[in-house]
């Protein structure tokens, strides 16, 4: 069956692999096969260095038949775009700047929320709780390097993060910031008006494509999730609950 969409876009954590975990060889091979039929895009709130750790570490080792110029990586919710260039390797080709005053406000507000002790945040953390990714600020309740088992248990229904999100929005008022829930314990903060939906829209414009040319698969398409605004753009979207569900969908596309 010939794949009819011009871009197949995927979230990373919870969609292609478990949170912060290296992608499986089987999933990587499926994506490589898909690049022979269409452009494949991975968009995530994670920075590029995390893409290298979770995805490119496996992609590069496999040395399988693949079409690298049909693979586009969109870290930090699509505020950055990396494309493969034969002369330079993975190259940053687009970036959406985060004004420094807005970045400072986001970090200051998160610090106040953390210090308030109102949200039952665990005392023990693994790595940074507030991560400045240059074009995005990410809050991770248990820290960036928390064990997956601990993360899954902390806020499975997103209610704790919904409360933190509401408090953040109350404190910043009309500031130029956009906030959404992502992953298992995270909240992503971007410049106002920029989100994963904007990231895919920018990519489509750069490639002279329409939004109807894109199909997206993600695990955070619920309201206020960090994939939700992709769905709101009108991009055809498929919600999944695990990488296994994603595998099944790709296999059907390739059959």
Model-level pTM? 0.81
DSSP state of 119: S
User: Per-residue confidence of the chain (255 residues) as pLDDT tens digits?
Assistant: 457 899 999 999 999 999 899 999 999 999 999 999 999 999 999 999 999 999 999 998 887 655 667 999 999 999 999 999 888 889 999 998 888 999 999 999 999 999 998 888 988 999 999 999 988 999 999 999 999 999 999 999 999 999 999 999 999 987 889 898 888 899 999 898 888 999 999 999 999 999 999 999 999 998 878 899 899 999 999 999 999 999 999 999 998
Rounded Cα gap, residues 17 and 15, in angstroms = 6
Domains annotated on the chain, with CATH: 7-96+194-254 (3.40.50.1000), 100-191 (3.30.1240.20)
Rounded Cα gap, residues 60 and 55, in angstroms = 9
Closest CA to 213 of 190, 196, 244, 234: 234
CB atoms within 10 A of CB 88: 9
């Amino acid at each position: 069956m010939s794949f009819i969409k011009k871009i197949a876009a995927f979230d990373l954590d919870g969609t292609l692999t478990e949170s912060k975990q290296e992608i499986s060889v089987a999933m990587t091979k499926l994506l490589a096969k898909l690049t022979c039929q269409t452009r494949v895009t991975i968009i995530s709130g994670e920075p590029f260095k995390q893409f290298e750790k979770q995805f490119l570490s496996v992609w590069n080792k496999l040395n399988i038949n693949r079409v690298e110029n049909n693979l586009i990586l969109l870290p930090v919710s699509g505020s950055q775009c990396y494309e493969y260039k034969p002369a330079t390797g993975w190259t940053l080709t687009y970036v959406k700047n985060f004004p420094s005053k807005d970045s400072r406000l986001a970090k200051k507000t998160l610090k106040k929320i953390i210090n308030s002790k109102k949200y039952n945040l665990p005392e023990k953390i693994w790595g940074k709780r507030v991560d400045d990714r240059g074009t995005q600020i990410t809050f991770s309740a248990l820290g960036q390097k928390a064990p997956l088992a601990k993360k899954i248990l902390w806020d499975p229904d997103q209610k704790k993060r919904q409360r933190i999100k509401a408090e953040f929005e109350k404190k910043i008022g009309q500031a130029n910031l956009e906030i959404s829930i992502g992953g298992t314990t995270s909240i992503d903060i971007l410049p106002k008006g920029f989100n994963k939906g904007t990231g895919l829209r920018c990519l489509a414009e750069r490639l002279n494509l329409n939004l109807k040319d894109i199909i997206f698969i993600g695990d955070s398409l619920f309201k206020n999730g960090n994939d939700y605004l992709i769905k709101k753009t009108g991009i055809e979207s498929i919600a999944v609950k695990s990488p296994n569900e994603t595998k099944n969908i790709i296999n059907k596309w390739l059959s």
